[in-house]
Amino acid sequence: MIDEREIFEIIATTLEVPLEKVTANADLLGDLGADSLALASLTAAIEEKTQLQLPMDAVLDIETVGDIIQQLQMAGK
């Protein structure tokens, strides 16, 4: 089971944004200011912490924090 709070904390730390800004609907690029390098770092940090591998095609389609949670849930099945 994915702990959303833990994922939110990883996102906030990796992207250096306040935890309050990290919501399921937050857009990684627009709301949280991530660029492609930050998204790569974020993916690596999440995969390391959760021990789940996100498919590259899924990573390319991620736009929001909620998309990350959804992909992690699918990867964990």
pLDDT (tens digit per residue) in 2-59: 789 999 999 999 999 999 999 999 999 999 999 999 999 999 999 999 999 988 888 8
Which of 75 and 11 is assigned the larger pLDDT?
11
pTM for the model stands at 0.91
The structural domain count of the chain equals 1
Predicted confidence (pLDDT) at residue 1 exceeds the cutoff of 80? no
In terms of residue numbers, what domain contains 56? 4-75
Beta bridge partners of 64: 27
**DSSP, res 54:** P
- 66 with 25: CB under 8 angstroms? yes
Q: Please report, for the domain that includes residue 56, its CATH number.
A: 1.10.1200.10
**Per-residue b or e along 25-40, where b marks 16 or more CB atoms closer than 10 Å to that residue's CB:** ebebeeebebeeebbe
